[in-house]
Amino acid sequence: MKSLLNAFNRTPPWFQLTVGAILISFSGVYVKIAHVTPVVAGFYRMLFGGIALLVLVLVRAELRLKGGRYIWYGLFCSFWLAVDLILWHFSIHVNGPGLATILANFQVFFMALAGVFFLGEKISLKLVFSIPLALLGLFLVVGIQWERLGGDYKLGVYAGLIAAICYTLFLLSLRKIQNLEDPLSTAANLTVISFLTAVYLAGDIQRQGGSFHIPDIQSTLALIVYGITSQAIGWLIITRALPKIRASLVGMILLLQPALAFVWDVLFFDRPTTLVSLVGITITLAAIYLGVSAKPASPK
């Protein structure tokens, strides 16, 4: 196993980023095939992913006790990640993994706008062009048939877009944590945030009178793989590879994640697709690419 990891670490950064994007593209599939509620799916993603990350940081001796501002920022960061997961998983259940993942990737635009309005970054022509382009694409996917769509489907679209806002707040607070004095390693930060998020989600399950029971083997395997590949391996691969690749190539490779999520939705769940919706998806993905290449952002 160690030799395999060493061999992978010697591969080009673009290849590593591609592997990470492909791994995370299956996230919606695991949520869809696990016979649990959106909140429970999020809880087990954080729990199983956190355990995998904890093993890694213990082996590397990277986990250290932190207090003060780190705890408060960690709680704030984890809260937004918990809300994001609840909304995104709900959107997956009612809209399918493909559209839900594309909606969640609108965080690219919210992240860029936050940079302009709150972090003093300059707005680019790519960003100015990409936002209305993305809205046009989304309109072609759902807007034309909006009046004929069911109430849950519409609610899922809203949930996906609000999830993108929550994910932006998570990324901004994670960035703040990583910029604190004497920060933990990336893996250690993700470990702490995974467990804190799991606590939030567990509290929500208890509040709703829900159950932590996993009903069958398929759901158990799906949730374990979901946590290990999406929360642990995929995130670590991507965060390590991002700084080593130019922004435009990062944008193109990360586009694999929402694009493949839509492909898996069509292949595995027989998602009905019209020519107009395909054009809309293409336009939206192109807009997301422009947004990412204008300013790199983290994947879903």
The answer to which of 9-18, 59-68, 206-215, 220-229 has the lowest mean pLDDT is: 59-68
Q: What's the confidence (pLDDT) of residue 297? A: 47
DSSP letter for each residue of 24-62: HHTHHHHHHHS-S-HHHHHHHHHHHHHHHHHHHHHHHT-
Q: What's the confidence (pLDDT) of residue 65? A: 77
Q: What's the confidence (pLDDT) of residue 29? A: 95
Percent above pLDDT 90 for the chain? 43
Q: What is the DSSP letter of 146?
A: G
Q: What's the confidence (pLDDT) of residue 196? A: 96
pLDDT by residue (tens digit) across 145-177?
777 778 888 899 999 999 999 999 998 898 888
pLDDT tops 80 at residue 275: yes
pLDDT by residue (tens digit) across 19-46?
998 999 999 999 999 999 999 999 999 9
Q: What is the mean pLDDT of residues 243-272?
A: 82
Burial 76-99 (b: 16+ CB within 10 A, else e): bbbbbbbbbbbbbbbbbbbbbbbb
> CA 230, CA 12: separation in Å to the nearest integer?
21
pLDDT tops 90 at residue 5: no
Query: Going by C-beta distance under 8 Å and a sequence separation of 6 or more, which residues neighbour residue 252?
Result: 289, 293
Q: What's the confidence (pLDDT) of residue 300? A: 58
Q: What's the confidence (pLDDT) of residue 144? A: 67
> CA 86, CA 75: separation in Å to the nearest integer?
17
